[in-house]
Structure 1
Amino acid sequence: MQSTERNVTVNKLVINSMAQDRYILNFKGSLPLPDSDMQLIRSKTNLIDASRKTLLVEPKDDALMYELARELPDWTVKKEILYTIPSPNPTVLKPPKP
């Protein structure tokens, strides 16, 4: 199982944590989601969250995601990207010159 390091900021402290990559699967067909596809996805991943046509999963092995993408033509598979939220209050690094 491959994992990557992520930096998590908590109260201005940076914490390195080991976290497995997560993937977003988006169904391109019409609802309902096919039961055979859902059984295949659940057998090869841990389902984290789901909406009507989108799933957030953690694969048991990252190589399985390429296999899933080939086996599920009606689905798009993308790696989850995390963005840091900018601070709403700007900070002054240096006072202006008089």
Structure 2
Amino acid sequence: MPAVVGASAYSPPSAEEKERFTPVVTKYITEKLGKESNIVEIRRIRSQITNVKMYFLEVLHDEGYSQITLREDPKADGVELTVVGHEYLTFN
């Protein structure tokens, strides 16, 4: 198991993070729901560095609230973001 080098606390996303992550999350949610969601809003985000950088996003969409996990992989022409986890969140 890789050692955690650094982890951040949840915080609201910056404008740059919204711009970077929203297209990836929107595409994933559309595929998951089988239709385009009327709303896709990243509410909170945190990151963690192990051997790769991981992002944990709390996202509001038509079906509720989810935590979506993205992995950042370095590529020759930049980086690639891949959804590697998804779970629906419930609040009591």
Q: Give TM-score scaled by structure 2 length.
A: 0.29
CA radius of gyration, larger in: 1
Q: Give TM-score scaled by structure 1 length.
A: 0.28
Higher relative contact order (CA 8 A, sep 6+): 1
